[in-house]
Structure 1
Amino acid sequence: MVLLNNKPNNGAAQGTEPERTGNGKSAVGEIHEVTTIGDKSLENSIEPAGNEEPASNVSEAEGQLKKLPFPKSIFFIISYEFCRGFHYYGMRTILVLYLSRQLDYDDDTTTVIFHVYAMLGYFLCVFGAIISDSWLGKFKTILYLSFIYVAGSALVTLGAVPPLNLPATTFTMVGLGLMSLGSGLVKPSISAFGGDQFKLPEQVKQMTTFFSMYYFVVNAGSLISITTTPILRDDVHCFGEKDCYSLAFGLPASFVVISIVVFAFGRPLYKNKPPAGNMV
């Protein structure tokens, strides 16, 4: 009779060594090691990637973007620009008539004076940007150089008041020069200073809204002034004269004074970036 042994063939129990592979490990141990490595690989594939942010963090970041309020300082800048636009275009509207009818310049001279005045206001923007970025900064450039603008407007207005008997031609020419200087040096800093009030890239949409508001108020101020100043000149009679240029110049001049006061009141709210140094 043949007896069958049902016990597993254990090399240690039978006195024989288990079969070994070429690297010196037993076949059973090698299989166990491969299985362990496979399990670890499977666990690693299930774990989330370290570079991916959880959805909760993304939602939290989006919530922070929505919480950033619209800068209150913008409303002071917008008000300043409205008043400045009202003054600039109001003065230009009646300037040609004043030069030709009151100061008795011929048409050619009047045209030259008008275009030189307008050209300097844009040409000097380059120097205004250099002053702002290199030395004074945007806030001080706007505030300080606006007084030059006010001085020029005051000279033109005073020269147009007949009872004062001032040299109208001299006052007007000097006043126009100061207004061109002040306007040109201030102009490039206003919109840039408004852009500085926003935190980027979080407030890109709000900054876009600001620039839309900025150009709207400039055009609104110019539209109102070019409608109002001719009416004041023609329909109001002052100092015994048919045309009241002193009032037509005086109203825009008062607006530019108001603009400085409003702009200065917003100082505690402004974000002032220091000048970057010599840009030349």
Structure 2
Amino acid sequence: MTTATRSDKMPAGIPYIISNEFAERFCFYGVNAILVQYMIEFLHFGDAKAASWQAMFKSAAYFFPLLGAIVSDVFLAKFRTIISFSIVYIAGCTILALGTGEDMMIVGLLLMAFGTGGIKPCVSTNVGDQFTEQNAHLIERAFSYFYISINAGSVISIWLCPELLSNPAFGPKIAFGVPALMMTFATIAFWLGGRKFAVVPPAMRTGAGPALVVFSLIFAVMLAITGVVLVQTNKLWATATILSLLAGLIFVCLRPSIGNKLPEDLHAWLKRCFTGDSLKLIGRLLVLYIFVAFFWSLWDQSNGNSWTIQAQSALMDKHLLGFMSGVSGFESAAAWEMLPAQVQVVNGIFILILVPVFTFVIYPLLGKFFTVTPLRKIGMGLFTVAASFLIVAWIEQRIQEGHVVSMWWQISAYVVLTAAEVLVSITALEYSYKQAPLYMKSFVMSLFLLSVSVGNIFTAAVNDYMVEPLKTESVSTGEQTWVALSKVDGYVTGQKIDFNGENGVEVITADGSKGPLAGTFLIAEIDVAGNRVRLMDKVYRKPVSSNGNYDLSKGEVSTYTLVGPIYFLFFAALMALGAVLFIFVAMVSKERTFVREAEAT
């Protein structure tokens, strides 16, 4: 047995993959950054509904990698899969940019989720496929470059897209249109690198076309069944339904009476992936991914979700350089105010800083005291992300009480959150790739991405379940808006109250513009004797002026059971408990590494 000659040269296809990932992530994170703001300001969604829908979009985006992985590993290989799904991705971005209203948004987001989900497991595993035994030592560096490109793209788009959306001269069409153009560039960049990529062929060498058509039809039927379950029950049951259907399909295909009728290559791939050691590997990884799913449930709330909603309050002082006021020559800098959706940009900046800090400083330092294994990194990260939610819970408590809080406090939470991301996300990405045999790397990567989907489903479900419908007796309009309820016991000042439906009442906002009584407002005053509450607007906490007659038959009013900081403390406690349990899981887990062998020359 000969030893492959060591090579320190990075594979030729890596720059094209990095360019593609930069532009695609610009698109995805740009849309994601402004989605909640768009739903709240332009579609008048309540906070919980907007957070739930945004989480559902991300859940779908990280569910469809299951489809992309199977199409790639079995039918088309990575290059054709990425190009095909990218075209759908571009179509979704275009519809989102040019369409108006809730229905067009849903269509655009669904196509975007389908497209980005289809390429996700292929792009990241395509990085690893470029390496052989000769340069396998460069994989970690390449994945670091890959992750840096993700965050570089996100930093630029998260900063730019909120500016475009908030500027009346541009608005939603341009704010969503720029990401669409970047996705077009991403597709072209990847296509140009096609001849430089090392290719791992799909499992099916013959008859892939007809088999792909049949598989697509079956998958479409399963999605339709899941949609019915979603409408009739809830998101958690729908998730359980689609996963059960997929597992059932695999089980049926493995039975000799069915499997022997399948194309030989497809049947062989199924047997290799879902029997013996491969099945045991999937089982071990799924246990790990349960904990990673809870990590993503927390982390993704910092990415255009609950953390961004928190930053919308005027009590969150977004003058980051305000401490320079009074200093001659720095008046403009002190007056500059960051937009609420822009604060998440610091996550990408901190990633660029903390990746080398952890790689070259923290990990070597910890290595002097104990062996720094991937699972130990992940365990530390789970505790760390829980700590970040304690900070935002404290911020929310201060805001609810009416105190001004500097944005620097939320930025400090992002520092802690980003440290957790380095410990968990990068580590789990590399760990997933190395654990998987070559013939199922895309599929294993899709399981890792499925943990993101499940985490976001959980977030969406919590935002749905915490909504408590209120029995409304009447709404009194005028310079102040009072809502008479069946009871007001237990409510607190600053608590959120949502209005939905065309209820006939018009409000005058703080800037003098008019709009419907829809979306989220805050309780400014509680009249216990009269069983009524007075409203103030969510951002500026000013009295709500209104006119019109409230239509009880059309209006829907609700509040949240997880009030203020309790919401964030709920997730922090859940993650802390999960981190403790993970310690025991890590103690019994085993690791293996699979890379592509060097090709004969």
Deviation at 1:65, TM superposition (A): 2.6
Select 1:108's aligned residue among 44, 48, 67.
Answer: 48
* In structure 1, C-alpha distance between the alignment counterparts of 2:168 and 2:53, rounded to whole Å: 27
Counterpart AA for 2:130: Q
Residues 3-82 of structure 1 aligned to structure 2 (within 5 Å): 64-66=5-7, 69-82=9-22
Q: Which residue does 2:113 correspond to in 1?
A: 180
Deviation at 1:168, TM superposition (A): 2.9
Is residue 2:147 matched to residue 1:218? no
Q: Which residue is 2:191 aligned to?
A: 264
SS at match of 2:6: helix
**Following superposition of structure 1 onto structure 2, how do residues 93-132 of structure 1 map, counting pairs within 5 Å?**
93-132=33-72
Note the C-alpha offset of 1:105: 2.7
d(CA) in 1 for partners of 2:137 and 2:160? 35
CA distance in 2, matches of 1:248, 1:121: 20
Shift of 1:120: 0.9
Alignment partners' CA distance in 1, 2:59 and 2:168: 32
Give 2:47's aligned amino acid: D
Following TM superposition, by how much is the alpha carbon of 1:193 offset from its aligned partner in structure 2, in angstroms? Answer: 1.0
Distance in 1, matches of 2:103 and 2:165, equals 21
Distance across 2 between alignment mates of 1:229 and 1:112: 21
Number of residues of Structure 1 aligned to a counterpart in Structure 2: 207
The whole-number CA distance in structure 2 between the counterparts of 1:184 and 1:86 is: 15
Residue 189 of structure 2 corresponds to residue 249 of structure 1: no
1:130 aligns to what SS in structure 2?
helix
Specify the alignment match of 1:55 in structure 2: none
Q: Distance in 2 between matches of 1:168 and 1:249?
A: 14
For residues 71-119 of structure 1, the C-alpha deviation after alignment (integer angstroms, 9 at most, x for no partner) is 2211000000001111111101110111122123333332222111011
CA distance in 1, matches of 2:144, 2:50: 35
TM-score (norm: length of structure 2)? 0.33
Quick one: which amino acid aligns to residue 60 of structure 2? Answer: L
Structure 1 residue 231, shift from structure 2 partner: 1.6
Aligned mates of 2:76, 2:38 — CA distance in 1 = 36
Residues 90-169 of structure 1 mapped to structure 2, 5 A cutoff: 90-159=30-99, 167-169=100-102
Partners in 1 of 2:51 and 2:168 — Cα distance? 27
CA distance in 1 between counterparts of 2:123 and 2:107 reads 25
1:274 matched to 2:204: no
Structure 2 unaligned residues grouped into runs of 5+:
205-265, 271-601
**Normalized against structure 1, the TM-score is what?**
0.69
1:72 match: secondary structure = coil
Report the residue type matching 1:145 in the other structure.
Answer: F
After superposition, give the CA deviation of every residue in 1:254-280 in whole Å (9 maximum; x if it has no partner). Answer: 110000001001111111221024344
1:104 match: secondary structure: coil
Identity %: 34
For 1:249, give the aligned amino acid. F
In the alignment, which residue of structure 1 is the partner of 2:135? 203
Q: Which amino acid aligns with 1:65?
A: R
| CA distance in structure 2 between the partners assigned to 1:256 and 1:123 by the alignment | 20
Q: 1:175 is aligned with what amino acid? A: G
Distance in 2 (CA, whole Å) between partners of 1:156 and 1:219 is 23
2:168 maps to what in 1?
Answer: 237
Report the 3-state secondary structure (helix = DSSP H, G, I; strand = E; otherwise coil) of the residue aligned with 1:202: coil
Offset from partner CA, 1:139-198 (integer Å, 9 cap, x none):
111111111111100000001xxxxxxx53222110000111111111011011121112
SS in 2 for 1:65: coil
Q: Which amino acid in structure 1 is aligned with residue 112 of structure 2?
A: M
- 2:24 maps to 84
Question: Counterpart in 1 of 2:441?
Answer: none
- Equivalent residue, structure 1, for 2:480: none
| Larger CA Rg, structure 1 vs 2 | 1
d(CA) in 1 for partners of 2:94 and 2:101? 12
- 1:228 correspondence with 2:228: no
Counterpart CA distance in 2 for 1:118 and 1:106 is: 18
Measured after TM superposition, the shift of residue 129 of structure 1 is 1.1
Alignment correspondent of 2:384: none
Structure 2 equivalent of residue 190 of structure 1: 123
Q: Distance in 2 between matches of 1:224 and 1:107?
A: 26
Structure 2 SS opposite 1:121: helix
CA distance in 2, matches of 1:148, 1:195: 25
Point out the structure with the larger strand share: 2
> SS where residue 137 of structure 1 aligns?
helix
Name the aligned partner's letter for residue 154 of structure 2: S
The 2-side partners of 1:267 and 1:150 are apart by 19
Shift of 1:70: 2.0
Distance in 1 (CA, whole Å) between partners of 2:129 and 2:46 is: 46
Structure 2 CA distance, aligned partners of 1:136 and 1:256? 21
> 1:250 deviation in Å?
1.2
After TM superposition, give the deviation of residue 237 of structure 1 in Å: 3.0
CA distance in 1, matches of 2:184, 2:156: 17
CA apart distance, 1:69: 3.2
CA distance in 1, matches of 2:196, 2:122: 17
Unaligned stretches of 5+ in structure 1? Answer: 1-50, 52-57, 160-166
Report which structure shows greater RCO (CA 8 Å, sep ≥6): 1
Deviation at 1:230, TM superposition (A): 1.1
